[in-house]
Chains A and B, each alone.
Chain A
Amino acid sequence: MHNISFETSPGKIYGLFGPNGSGKTTLFNLISGLYRPNAGIIRYYGICPKRMEPLGIARLGNGLARTFQDPVVINDLSVEENVLLAYRLPQEGFISLLYRGARSFNQERIALTEVQCWLAHFKLTAKKNMPAGELSYGERRLVANITAILMGSGILLLDEPFANLNVLMIQKLKGWLRKIALEEKRTILIIEHSPDNLYDFVDVLLRIKGYEIDSIQNTGDIDFVKKLISRSTLLYG
């Protein structure tokens, strides 16, 4: 990727769109630490991490969560258990073999309630005990989206979250995303193939083409401060 420089503010939703193979997922991979940039820096919450790797970046500040173009869902676990993975409970390491306190159980119960609430909202309650490997593709994507959102991270990267979903689910997702962006001041970046789903929904539209940012449009009327961090030349792969 070349010449990428932009800055995001909390509480805004950014939409990235562009033709196939234009580098949208590559940008996500760079931001989430899957790829390491050859030049340039990426700052999260104002901090530049020492090591650009997924685990370190996910633990910075308020965290980072992402979904993948091909939804990743744990086939062995039920739908409910999958979404439960979003929560980091106390004493979930090997200590739990010997002793697990009341606090841990309480947190798990609270998390389970929240999970069941959202599964009901997205009409997945009937399938909540089904192994996730048996879901349809669209349902898998829905579960992956829900899990990522419930992680509660300050930065949320969603790769084609609306693909293969029906209109009602898309509306529900959009409503939820709008709500968390506004209320919890989370930064949300969304990749979609065509901007149709994005026009009425995001604050800022970025068009990616040829591994470069083609254009940035402000769809809202909130002023958006663009600051050049550095010129970066990033090679793909």
Chain B
Amino acid sequence: MEYLASIVANFLIYALIIISLNNFIIGKTSIWSIGHIAFFGIGALTTGIMVHDFLMPGWSAILPGLLISFFLSLFVGLSTLRLSGDYFIILSIGLCEITRAVSHELKGPAGMSGIVRPTLGGMSLDNDWMFILLVILPIFIAVIVLSVRFSRSPLERICSLVRQNENAARFMKINPLYYKVGCLCIGSLIAALTGSIHAFFARSTDPSIITLYQTVLFFSMVLFGGINSLYGSILGSLMLVAVPRILEYFINSPMASSYSYQIIQLMYGFLLIFVVRFMPQGVMGGSKNWFYPQENT
């Protein structure tokens, strides 16, 4: 039962990360932010340190992580997005490395442990299922609602315009910088919140997620599910959680298990090749999700 709880929690947390990347950043601004996972790490590390070392009460310990992520993404976004998204992507890689270095410096390469879960109105959240039901699931639903509101608001149209042709947007009295940076900030906020929640759930932090490998995996799942598709993000998260489990179930020989890491990578590779060949817009990508390169006016 405990094991099942951790699978469900992982699924929801991965889904939150992929949604923050796919449905708020890549899907709206076409910026493939390689360092996006850094905000997850910042949220997790900040919350962990605040709770463990500074003995901040649990729920308010989430706030510093959110603030740091917000201002970092604001700063990097404002300075680079006046030029083009490519500069932001490069800077985000740097941000990722800095986060990893800071994490190693402060808490070592294995991360920290012993993070105490906060209580909810006096009730303890030590039971994993309680935590999932009362914390992770509501946040998951809230983010989904936010994403759906986004798609149905004028924001979606404006972001499509900015994505395709920034100069045309300027002629329509729209400031492309505002919308690009705004989307970025929201995406990084959600990632930071997810990091904090994960730190509470796992009662520890693990900087090994802040690597290029994980980013490539997330990008693959974004492509697999479909850019800008909510169902696609959830499907991608399902793949991330299900594929290793399926492997565990079917391959029982001891020799294979020593290669399990590589076999998993192979399976993800096949999924990606399959999607790119047969369903290039993603499994859940629909007719409204064609992406054209940025035009030059």
Give 6 CB contacts A-B under 8 Å. A34-B297, A55-B170, A74-B160, A76-B290, A85-B161, A97-B149
A219 on interface, CB distance cutoff 8 Å: no
A68 on interface, CB distance cutoff 8 Å: yes
Chain B residues closer than 8 Å to A32, beta-carbon distance: 171
The listed residue with most B CB atoms (<10 A of its CB), out of A55, A81, A96, is A55
Within 8 A of A (CB), among B164-199: 164-165, 167-168, 170-173, 175, 178, 182, 186
Tell me the complex Cα distance, A156–B158, Å: 21
Verify B171–A108 contact, CB threshold 8 A: no
Chain B residues closer than 8 Å to A76, beta-carbon distance: 160, 163-164, 288-292
A39 on interface, CB distance cutoff 8 Å: no
B245 on interface, CB distance cutoff 8 Å: no
Verify B172–A81 contact, CB threshold 8 A: no
B150 on interface, CB distance cutoff 8 Å: yes
Tell me the complex Cα distance, A137–B155, Å: 27
Within 8 Å by CB of A97, from B155, B161, B168, B175, lies: B155
Given known contacts A68-B297, A77-B160, A131 and B287 CB-to-CB distance under 8 angstroms: yes
B67 on interface, CB distance cutoff 8 Å: no
Query: How many contacts between A and B, using CB within 8 angstroms?
Result: 85
Within 8 Å by CB of B288, from A85, A86, A88, A131, lies: A131
B153 on interface, CB distance cutoff 8 Å: yes
Chain A residues closer than 8 Å to B292, beta-carbon distance: 75-76, 133
Verify B172–A85 contact, CB threshold 8 A: yes
Interface residues of B (CB under 8 A from A): 146, 149-150, 153-155, 157-158, 160-161, 163-165, 167-168, 170-173, 175, 178, 182, 186, 287-292, 295, 297
Chain B residues closer than 8 Å to A54, beta-carbon distance: 167, 170-171
Task: Tell me the nearest residue of chain B to A81, going by C-beta.
Answer: B157
Chain A residues closer than 8 Å to B288, beta-carbon distance: 76-77, 131
Task: Tell me the nearest residue of chain B to A64, going by C-beta.
Answer: B171
Within 8 Å by CB of B290, from A34, A75, A108, lies: A75
Give the distance to chain A from B179, nearest Cβ to Cβ, in Å. Answer: 8
4 more contacts with CB within 8 A, not counting A88-B172, A96-B154, are: A55-B170, A76-B164, A77-B157, A94-B182
Majority DSSP secondary structure for residues of B touching A: helix
Chain A residues closer than 8 Å to B155, beta-carbon distance: 92-94, 96-97
Within 8 Å by CB of A58, from B161, B172, B186, lies: B172
Task: Tell me the nearest residue of chain A to B163, going by C-beta.
Answer: A76
Given known contacts A63-B173, A86-B172, A94-B186, A108 and B167 CB-to-CB distance under 8 angstroms: no
Tell me the complex Cα distance, A68–B160, Å: 18
Given known contacts A68-B297, A131-B288, A85 and B170 CB-to-CB distance under 8 angstroms: no
Chain B residues closer than 8 Å to A97, beta-carbon distance: 146, 149-150, 153, 155, 186
Within 8 Å by CB of A55, from B173, B182, B289, B295, lies: B173
**4 smallest beta-carbon distances between A and B, as pairs:** A92-B154, A54-B170, A55-B170, A96-B153
The listed residue with most A CB atoms (<10 A of its CB), out of B149, B165, B171, B291, is B171
Task: Tell me the nearest residue of chain B to A148, going by C-beta.
Answer: B171
Tell me the complex Cα distance, A185–B291, Å: 39
A205 on interface, CB distance cutoff 8 Å: no
Tell me the complex Cα distance, A143–B142, Å: 37
Verify B167–A85 contact, CB threshold 8 A: no
Give the distance to chain A from B195, nearest Cβ to Cβ, in Å. Answer: 21
Tell me the complex Cα distance, A63–B172, Å: 9
Give the distance to chain B from A28, nearest Cβ to Cβ, in Å. Answer: 11
**What 0/1 pattern do residues 91 to 108 of A give for CB contact below 8 A with B?**
011101100100000001
Chain A residues closer than 8 Å to B154, beta-carbon distance: 84, 89, 92, 96, 108
Verify B290–A66 contact, CB threshold 8 A: no
Chain A residues closer than 8 Å to B157, beta-carbon distance: 74, 77, 81, 84-85
